[in-house]
Amino acid sequence: MPSGIGPSRTRLISGRAQEVLTRLADASYDLVFIDADPIDQPDYVAEGVRLLRSGGVIVVHRAALGGRAGDPGARDAEVIAVREAARLIAEDERLTPALVPLGDGVLAAVRD
């Protein structure tokens, strides 16, 4: 236990995200990390927010698509999906978001 986190505090769950996420208990997780195909981000964000307990953090990798998500002229399916995921987070009054301009963008939000 070099990290100081006991084995009962973490678990690895294998399976397709769409199937596994819906079976997890509401407000039971401290961290939800989304590193998925940008097309699926809105669905995962909706499920991820549901899973977060107060004080928990949701992190979305590839949240800016290397700047494409902020380009008004970009309208492909990936960009539209990433913008929708960001909108879901921005409009959720329970969340305090921050966009980190690192790599393809990291969007993190803390649940109140």
Active site residues: 61
Compute the C-alpha angle 101/84/32, nearest 5°: 65
Which residues is 110 bridged to in the sheet?
A: 57, 96
Cα 3 to Cα 10, 13, 32, 55, 102, distances in angstroms: 12, 20, 19, 21, 26
> For residue 50, which of 103, 89, 9 has the smallest C-alpha distance?
89
